[in-house]
Structure 1
Amino acid sequence: MENWAIYANPARALTDVTIACVGAGEYGGTHEGFRGRQLRSHAVVVISEGTGWYSSPLTGDIRVEAPALLWLFPGVAHGYGPHRSGWTEHWILFSGVATRALDELGAWRRTVPVVPLDRTPETLTTTFAHLREDLADSGSIGSLRAAAVSYAWIVALATSTMRDAAPDLIDAFTRGATRQVSMETRAHELGMGVPQLRSATLAATGLTPLQLLIESRLARAQSLLVETDLEVSVIAQQVGFDDPSYFSRQFTQRRGSSPSLFRREQRRMPTLTDDRL
């Protein structure tokens, strides 16, 4: 397999209504990996051969064994890389308003970014051959085709891993993080009391229910700050904060910069130009 990477600048019309492909590539080798990186878009990575690791502040270090996929989110620090024997990865960078619908529908689980696959997708080779050809065409037709191929690939991966899989407690709790309801109501909906919920979240994540709720909301806010031009007050409301000032204080305290500064810093990040994601 030949290593390649192509990055695109799709039309705003695509990102405003659906998903656009911002880049794609294939890589096989033994790069050392990286930690603490933040993307400006969503990404999906399929590891088809080899083993390695994934790391984020929420999950810690997780072993990755092919076949597996990684979901990466804009503005959220993470890292990954192969073990010494190397691995093969195929990746797509994507952005657009439809990512919010996929998020709410449970296409991915932010608390479970590494997902084992039963087998390597049969369409992997043809999908990335099409993407390479489409992205090489920098015109509107190439952008449309790349968007269609990417969306089909993302949906196929999401539905294959969602099939027959009920959300676990932490996933169910964080998926409803944007709702403005009491902790008692959240616990009751999960079939337990607040003390039981506290014990469960502490055991699974080391965070109290309130801490986990805030972290989940802030992670979604980071993505919106990076990918959209929405006002900070609108983002605060969309992720579950009814007081924009409280949202800004929590964001600054836990992320080390204000929402506005975070947005400016992320948008000054250079575009990736190496031969892998």
Structure 2
Amino acid sequence: MSDWSRYAHPAPAFADRAIVCIGAGEYRGNDSEVRDRPLRSHAAVVVSEGSGWFRSQLSTDVAIEAPALIWLFPGIRHSYGPDRSGWTEHWVLFGGTVTRDLDALPAWSPATPVVQLGAVPATLAPTFTRLRSDLAEPGSVGALRASATCYSWLVDLAASVKPAGAPDLVAAFARGATRQLSMEARARELGVSLAELRAETLTATGLTPLQLLIESRLARAQSLLVESDLEVGVIGKTVGFDDPAYFSRQFTRRRGSSPSMFRSEQRRVPSETGEAQ
């Protein structure tokens, strides 16, 4: 691996709407470190080999042992670097409105910016090969490609730092979303306390149990609206909403259109030859 760094200058309008990749790079060695640096953007640094150290104005000194993720926040002064034996790091700078959603995940906190990874993500090498190529391409097309690659990488990192039990528990919770049960009963069925259920759903999805319950019900409702001829009120009850008006209000607020409008926009109709379009 050769050391490299590339930077992009995406259009401000794009930065206001999504994730934008500002730069990326790779480093291997023991002769370079960051000292008392604040960033204007977010950054994610993955240490895939070796060991080192990290400190910031919000956290105590932390020893780093690969594989590990260093999650950096705008405006927070920090320092980090490898031990004498050196390390291998891959870093990406990014911004955009989506970072507000990432900041809500408790797995990534300014107070605990170093996260131990169970393994080096399998997508690390191909991701940074693409980023190096994307960021070398001039103009907006290269910047857009780099931002898409960056977003995919952040999703991979989010999956890497989930607690081992969270995905199965959250999947079981979502499967039972249409049933009429209290949240206490749902937690008991899953073998956890309410506090543990809340912590697991927040870590895995960024949503509270109630928010995840509603989103799971609405996702099922969307499928039924497109795939069945059931009346809207019946669909609401089928997915767990006793009050048809409440179902319509929640659907409209969270999906941007009423259930009926969604069905009209998304449903396929038979073609003149009798085949589905």
> TM-score, normalised to structure 2's length?
0.58
Q: Partner of 1:97 in structure 2? A: 97
Deviates more, 1:157-166 or 1:17-26: 157-166
* Ranges in structure 2 where 5+ consecutive residues have no aligned partner: 167-193, 197-277
Q: Partner of 2:86 in structure 1? A: 86
1:137 paired with 2:149, answer no
Q: Partner of 2:40 in structure 1? A: 40
Deviation at 1:34, TM superposition (A): 3.1
Deviation at 1:12, TM superposition (A): 1.2
Alignment of 1:64-75 (within 5 A): 64-75=64-75
Q: Partner of 2:17 in structure 1? A: 17
- Partner amino acid for 2:131? L
Once the two structures are superposed, residues 50-107 of structure 1 have per-residue CA deviations (whole angstroms, 9 ceiling, x without a partner) of 1000001221210000111100011101110000111110000001111001112446
Deviation at 1:164, TM superposition (A): 4.1
Deviation at 1:38, TM superposition (A): 0.4
Q: Partner of 2:226 in structure 1? A: none
- Partner amino acid for 2:80? Y
Once the two structures are superposed, residues 152-210 of structure 1 have per-residue CA deviations (whole angstroms, 9 ceiling, x without a partner) of 101110122024477xxxxxxxxxxxxxxxxxxxxxx979xxxxxxxxxxxxxxxxxxx
- Partner amino acid for 1:97? T
C-alpha change, 1:60 and 1:105, in structure 2 (3 Å) is closer
The SS at the match of 1:162 is coil
**Percent identity between the aligned chains?**
55
Deviates more, 1:66-75 or 1:29-38: 29-38
Deviation at 1:32, TM superposition (A): 4.3
* Bigger CA radius of gyration: 2
Aligned partners of 2:164 and 2:104: how far apart in 1?
Answer: 18
Aligned partners of 1:142 and 1:28: how far apart in 2?
Answer: 26
Alignment of 1:176-187 (within 5 A): none
Aligned partners of 1:111 and 1:25: how far apart in 2?
Answer: 25
RMSD: 1.9
Aligned partners of 1:25 and 1:162: how far apart in 2?
Answer: 25
> TM-score, normalised to structure 1's length?
0.58
Q: How many residues align?
A: 169
* 2:51/2:87 contact within 8 Å kept: yes
Q: Partner of 1:273 in structure 2? A: none
1:50 paired with 2:38, answer no
Q: Partner of 1:125 in structure 2? A: 125
- Partner amino acid for 2:46? V
